[in-house]
Structure 1
Amino acid sequence: MNRLLMNSFLLAALLMLPGQANARSDSLYQDLGGTAGIEQLVEDLLFNVADDRRIRHHFMDIDIGRLHEKLSEQICELAGGPCVYTGDDMVKSHTGMGVTRADFNALVEALQVAMDDNGVSVSAQNRLLALLAPMHHEIVGL
């Protein structure tokens, strides 16, 4: 089974675990390279999204600079860093976008590639995905 498929199964399994994915850890923030590492990770993620014909249409008419800032804040906060997420909640941000499960999975793929490109360990990748997984129901199908 390839790693991408395995991580998709992991993400789906984590969605079934109530409350488990909300644990914070300073070590994850450090494992992602701190604020600078997270900002680079998000930049690479956004470049991957722009190159992905499956999902780039969702990002065509948005302020990419603001998206970069808010995603960086969100990941930093979730990872236990010193940041505070100041963006809209996920439901408000995604209502009317028509994000499908396939779109969500494509974004996860883009994030995994960005994490690989930035030398993020598989363990840290899985911990970050576990923190992001509960957002699935707040993003898909709205």
Structure 2
Amino acid sequence: MKTPVEQSLYERLGGIEGITSIVDDIVENHMSNPAVNKRFLPLKDDPQHFAEVRQHLINFLAAGSGGPEEYTGKDMLSSHKGMNISQGEYMHVIDDIMKALTKNNIDEQTQKDVLTIAYSLKGEIAGV
């Protein structure tokens, strides 16, 4: 068995099953967070689009963490351009992600690794 240091981020997040659970919790957190839910609640009105966005999120996190899944969605800059996401909204989204990781019993180092990645994407998401 691999030690946590030898495991990929994908493995530490629980593989596709763990990532799917994390993404579902992130989406639920966004839907119930009054600081950002206006951006996410409309997805409930279009179940097909919601399913597509959810799958893109799962594939993005899985592929980006070293899994075999392929992400075929838009890059972060293209998918967020024109949304005028504020720095405050971005921080709320980060908080929602961290809550989901905690809920799914993700260890502290792995949470820090995900946080580092999330912050690295900030310039492609917030204020574009």
In which range does the TM-score fall when normalised by the shorter chain?
0.7 to 0.9
For residue 138 of structure 1, report the CA deviation from its aligned partner. Answer: 0.7
- Tell me the residue number matched to 1:79: 65
Unaligned runs of 5+ in 2: 1-5, 44-48
Deviations along 1:26-81, whole A, 9 cap, x unmatched? 52111100001001100000001000010011123343211211111111111111
> Highest relative contact order (Cα 8 Å, sep 6+), 1 or 2?
1
Question: What count of residue pairs does the alignment treat as equivalent?
Answer: 118
User: Matches of 2:114 and 2:70 in 1, distance apart?
Assistant: 17
User: Matches of 2:67 and 2:86 in 1, distance apart?
Assistant: 30
CA RMSD across the alignment: 1.4
**8 A Cα contact 2:94 2:118, kept in partner:** no
Deviations along 1:7-42, whole A, 9 cap, x unmatched? xxxxxxxxxxxxxxxxxx852111100001001100
**8 A Cα contact 1:74 1:85, kept in partner:** yes
Unaligned runs of 5+ in 1: 1-24
- Tell me the residue number matched to 1:4: none
List, as ranges, runs of 4+ consecutive aligned residues in structure 1 with deviation greater than 2 Å.
60-64
**8 A Cα contact 1:26 1:79, kept in partner:** no
> Map of 1:121-136 to 2, 5 A cutoff?
121-136=107-122
Among 10, 20, 29, the residue aligned to 1:48: 29
User: Matches of 1:131 and 1:82 in 2, distance apart?
Assistant: 18
User: Matches of 1:85 and 1:130 in 2, distance apart?
Assistant: 20
- Tell me the residue number matched to 1:38: 19
Q: Given the two structures, how large is their TM-score scaled by the length of structure 2?
A: 0.86
- Tell me the residue number matched to 2:55: 69
> Map of 1:1-142 to 2, 5 A cutoff?
27-62=8-43, 63-142=49-128
User: Matches of 2:69 and 2:118 in 1, distance apart?
Assistant: 16
For residue 92 of structure 1, report the CA deviation from its aligned partner. Answer: 1.4
**8 A Cα contact 1:91 1:138, kept in partner:** yes
User: Matches of 2:64 and 2:113 in 1, distance apart?
Assistant: 10
1:60 aligned counterpart, secondary structure: helix
1:32 maps to amino acid: L
